[in-house]
Amino acid sequence: MLVIPVIDIKNGHSVRMVEGLEDKTVYYSESPLTMARLFRKENAKVIHITDLDGAVSGKRKNYELIKEITESVDVPIQLGGGIRTYEIARQLIKELGVYRIVIGTSAIDNVELVQRLVADFGSSKVVIGVDVRNGYAVKDGWSNQTNIKGIDFALGMKSLGIERIIYQDVARVGSLQGPDFEGTKQIAAETGLKVTAAGGISSYSDLKKMQELEPYGVDSVMMSRALYENKFPCQAIWREQEKIDTSLELPKVK
C-alpha cells in the first residue's frame, strides 16, 4: 500500500482544511518546500500537492512555489487544484514536469477537456478526483455539491479512458476519524478502476484496514494531518533529527 503525503497550499502556506470547510483551515507550516523536503527524508516515494487557491479561483497563484518544490525533491509530484484549461494542464505536465495531474471540477464541467488530455498525454498522466459529500460529487474547492452520484461520475470518467481516481468523502478530510471504507470499497468494486483513497486516515490500523481493499483495486492512500501531527511512531525519530539537522539535505538516490 503506497502512502502519499499531501501538501495543501493556501496563500503560500501548508494547511489542512478540516472537513473541507474554509473556517476550519489549520495552518501547519510557513514553508511547503520545507515540508516536501521533510517528507522526502521520511522516504516518501510520491508527494501530492493541492493548490487550494487554484481550486477556488482557477488561477496559478502558487505556480512559482510549486515549481521550486518539483525542482527540489527527487520523487514524482502529483498536482491538483484549479486545473481547468488545456493550456494549464499542458504547462504543468510539459514545463513544470509534474508526474500526473488531478482533475476534479473540470471533469464535471468540461468532459471534452478530459478526453483531450487523455488523448494527448495518456491515462497515466491524468487522475480524476472524485470528491463526495453524502454520496454526491462536489466541485469548486468542495464548496458546491452536484446532483451527480460519485459512482456515476467515476463510471463516466472510465468511459473516457481514465484508469485511476482519488476517492474521498470531504466530510472526513482532516478529521482523523477514519476514511470512508465502505464508499471506497464500493466505488472500486463497481468501477474496476485503480483507486487512491483519501480523507480521514488517522492511524496504522486505518492503513491495515485499507490494505484489505487491495483486491478491489485500492492500491494507495493519501495522508496529510496524520503525518503532520506524527501519528506514526517512526516519524518522531525523523522529526527529532530535524531539530538537529536543519539543512534538510536529501539522501542520494542510487
How far, in Å, CA of 76 to CA of 70, rounded? 8
Tabulate helix, strand, coil % of the chain (nearest 5). 45, 25, 30
Each domain of the chain, given as residue ranges in start order, spans 2-244
Among the listed residues 51, 53, 131, 169, the single catalytic one is: 131
> Measuring CA to CA, which residue among 212, 219, 213 is closest to residue 163?
219
- Helix H, strand E, coil C: the string for 58-81 is CCCCCHHHHHHHHHHCCCCEEEEC
CATH class of the domain comprising 2-244: alpha beta
pLDDT digits (tens, 9 = 90+) for 189-216: 999 999 999 988 888 889 899 999 999 9
AA identity, residue 143: S
pLDDT digits (tens, 9 = 90+) for 162-179: 999 999 998 877 667 788
Among the listed residues 8, 53, 169, 180, the single catalytic one is: 8
Helical ranges in the chain per DSSP H: 32-41, 52-57, 63-72, 86-90, 105-109, 111-121, 150-158, 181-191, 204-211, 225-228, 233-244
Look up the pTM and report it: 0.85
User: Is 8 designated active site?
Assistant: yes
Bridge partners for 4 per DSSP = 222
pLDDT digits (tens, 9 = 90+) for 15-61: 765 544 444 455 556 689 998 998 898 889 999 999 988 777 767 78
What is residue 140's predicted lDDT score, i.e. its pLDDT? 78
Please state, as a whole number, how many other Cβ atoms lie within 10 Å of the Cβ of residue 204: 13
Q: Hey, what's the cell of 188?
A: 472500486
What residues contact residue 244 under an 8 Å CB cut-off, 6+ apart? none
**DSSP three-state, residue 123:** helix
User: Is 131 designated active site?
Assistant: yes
